[in-house]
Structure 1
Amino acid sequence: MDNTFKGQVALVTGGTKGIGKAIADTLSSKGAIVVVTARTAPKENTERQHFIAADLSQPESAEAIAKEILEKYGRIDIIVNNAGANLGPGGGFSTLSDEHWYNDWALNFMSVVRINKALVPTMIAQQYGVIINISTGAAKQPIWEMTMSYSSAKAALNIYSKALASELGPKGIRVNVVSPGVVKTPLMLEFIENIAKTSNSTIDDAFQGIMDKVGVPLGRMAAPQEIAELVTFLASPEAKYITGSNYAVDGGASPTV
């Protein structure tokens, strides 16, 4: 058994499916005690992981999660802020109400700020911790028809992460960002299906339309495990001199280095 993270406590928000589940399972396989959050409990058995039901768009959730983790385990070593979703409708600026903007920012930005604020003091007391914020390639390359409010929230997350890395580095805490491109998750498949319905096209055509807009040289979606492997590396001792960085895992979609 790989005991890279033996004795360490890790939190993975949105950790019951897709990218979050792959990250949580990989950290578990390497010896970590893993806490996962989601709005509803997973259907499969989660004996290997401690589940906390939480809606991270609600301000009170972060304190409740932190309280349960610290009362049960007394420490927190790794935070993976993975929970997020593109909640706004497509169609550009004119289709987005104030509520759409608030919803995207509450889940994709403020939830991360609150989780970190609740748990970072414990990391500071330990003089050790790793924070990995999951962003998106769309934060740098937004698709106006699909991701305007979501992209803006994630762009703010990128800047916040850099500032946090600068503040916390002297205290022994590393902060990095992982920015996936198009990943084959249940949420992405649902997103493609919705595009197909609203555009009166097939799922294959809707998928190809996204790939054409994003432009993926490798020509396919990533598997969640491919994101999890990088996150796990960044959380490990092998990455102990890496902080304040943003890693694209997008099949070459980013137009610049």
Structure 2
Amino acid sequence: MEQFNFNNELAGKITLVTGGTKGTGKAIAERLLTAGATVIVTARHTPETLNDKLHFISADLSKHLGIQKLVTEVLKQFGRLDILINNIGGSETKGGGFAVLSDEDWEESLQINLLAPVRLDRGFLPQMLEQKSGIIIHIASIQGRLPLYDSTLPYAAAKAGLINYSKGLSNEVSPKGVRVLTVSPGWIKTTSSVAMMERIAQSSNITVEEATKSVIDALGGIPIGRPAQPEEIAEFIGFLVSPRANYLTGTEYVIDGGTIPTI
């Protein structure tokens, strides 16, 4: 059986983390950096502070042209991509149920949460298939199974689509050397999740604490008693993209503190 060296186990690997300048994406990028990878991060705007060992490329991934720009720049500067972490995503739709959601709300959620990963995969997969190796991680959400109708229904629908797409893609490309996996976190304590609670509170005319409780109740509770920390998600992804996980592909991994009530 192959013996793995856990020190610098990603040395020589070129990695891209979308949405890698804050929150969970930032934690993932820094975790892969500590494993020896060359890590590229991307976001719409240049962050005020960034680890100087990370390579930043500005791109609007909600637009097709933004993705084309990113793919071109990565392959031009680095020659290839070994690991793609499709972390970009989120929801800014208003609370109030289906009736308050416009076509624009739906289209925006689908663009960033489903079509952006699809387009990025399409951009980088030909080169991965040519080198007969690569890893693609799709960051989905437990809302793909537990949609919150009051505030994030388009997001939940997009993530459900991403989970299904990821499984289908893995069936196609795993025999050709590319592993494809899905990670579906539950509630993660980030600045974005705090902002979402504030939006729900404002639209529903309740306190942030009441909004937080309403979301926990809608999820059926979190048995472990708290949201995840970004670093906890990052640590698991660090394992999935390592040589230790070489036999894993086509699987969705749920990290939710026990939230989903089924097995």
The Cα shift of 1:27 comes to 0.3
Q: What residue is the counterpart of 1:41 in the other structure?
A: 46
Contact 1:161 1:244 in 2 (8 A): yes
Paired-residue identity, %: 44
The runs of 5 or more residues in structure 1 that have no matched partner are none
The Cα shift of 1:73 comes to 1.0
Q: What residue is the counterpart of 2:29 in the other structure?
A: 24
SS of the equivalent of 2:236 reads: helix
Contact 1:87 1:103 in 2 (8 A): no
Q: What residue is the counterpart of 1:240 in the other structure?
A: 246
Change (3 A) 1:45 1:99: closer
Q: What residue is the counterpart of 1:231 in the other structure?
A: 237
Higher alpha-carbon deviation: 235-244 or 211-220? 211-220
Q: Deviations over 1:41-82 (max 9, x none)?
A: 111133211101111110111221111111111111100000
Q: Which runs of 4+ in 1 moved over 3 A?
A: none
Contact 2:18 2:41 in 1 (8 A): yes
The separation in 2 between residues aligned to 1:202 and 1:148, in whole angstroms, is 22
Q: What residue is the counterpart of 1:79 in the other structure?
A: 84
What is the aligned residue count? 257
Q: What residue is the counterpart of 1:219 in the other structure?
A: 225
SS of the equivalent of 1:51 reads: strand
The runs of 5 or more residues in structure 2 that have no matched partner are 1-5
The separation in 2 between residues aligned to 1:98 and 1:250, in whole angstroms, is 30
The separation in 2 between residues aligned to 1:207 and 1:72, in whole angstroms, is 43
Contact 1:105 1:149 in 2 (8 A): yes
TM (norm. structure 1) is 0.97
| Aligned Cα root-mean-square deviation (Å) | 1.1
TM (norm. structure 2) is 0.95
Q: What residue is the counterpart of 2:125 in the other structure?
A: 120
The separation in 1 between residues aligned to 2:60 and 2:73, in whole angstroms, is 15
Residues 55-94 of structure 1 aligned to structure 2 (within 5 Å)? 55-94=60-99
Contact 2:96 2:203 in 1 (8 A): no
Indicate which of 205, 208, 212 corresponds to 1:203.
208
